[in-house]
Amino acid sequence: MITVRNRDERGAVNMGWLDSRHSFSFGHYFDPAHMGFRALRVINDDRVIPGAGFPTHGHADMEIVSYVLDGALEHKDSLGTGSVIRPGEVQRMSAGTGIRHSEYNASRENPARFLQIWILPERKGLAPGYEQTAFAEADKRGTLRLVGSRDGRQGSVTIHQDVDLYAGLIDGSESATFELRPGRHAWVQVARGHVRLNGVTLKEGDGAAVSDETALTLDQGVGAEVLLFDLA
């Protein structure tokens, strides 16, 4: 069963410096029908004007993944970590017992766009931590590249939850098929372009909750960049 989360039905906030769309309840946007999916709690599609961003604020007991689509995101946190995240890079921050951080558009000239993803951790009270890894475009072209996992295999960032996160680029005649193990669920998020999932067309910003399927096929993409979460 595939249930589409239409992009036009997402929560929206525009603060001038930030234009954001929320796939699930977040901040002032509350929708009891969309509180998350399995361990996946937040997918925010954030656009930030040049030089602006989120000042220092705190988090706890959450796995936070940032996936930059355009521009660059400057990160600083209370662990002493400072970095710039660019397209092709995936950042995982474990808030654990508590962490404070800031996120700013690293450019004074160009806008930035990124997906901020929250995943519930396997347990509370983890030690805060940070990880950032780059993944080549060629490794995602016409396939699904593992970019996050519980055990950090294949060079993916480590996520402290039973979840595998894949990223893929699908265009033209390219296609990718994913075998979903019995009892597993999936969430597919189209970050850009559009693509077909098991015959269902998904547009940029659309998401899809998947249960009771054995295989997922992504094809007929037009400049599509897709994230797939394999969830318990």
Q: What is the pLDDT of residues 42-78, one digit of tens each?
A: 999 999 999 999 888 888 999 999 999 999 999 888 8
Q: What is the pLDDT of residue 50?
A: 97
Percent of the chain with pLDDT over 70: 100
| Residues 130 and 221 occupy one common structural domain | no
- Decide if 6 is inside a domain: no
The residue among 8, 2, 21, 12 whose CA lies nearest residue 201 is: 2
Domain that holds residue 67: 11-134
**What is the DSSP-derived secondary structure letter of residue 106?**
S
Domain limit, last residue, from 109, 134, 159: 134
Among 134, 169, 187, residue at a domain's last position: 134
Asked if residue 70 and residue 38 are part of one domain, the reply reads yes
Strand duo 144-149 + 157-158: pairing: parallel
pLDDT at site 79: 82
Does residue 147 have a pLDDT over 90? yes
Q: Which residues contact 33 (CB under 8 A, 6 or more apart)?
A: none
Look up the CATH number of the domain holding residue 158. 2.60.120.10
pLDDT band at 101 (very low <50, low <70, confident <90, very high): confident
Mean pLDDT, range 11-21, rounded to an integer = 96
pLDDT digits (tens, 9 = 90+) for 123-141: 999 999 999 999 999 999 9
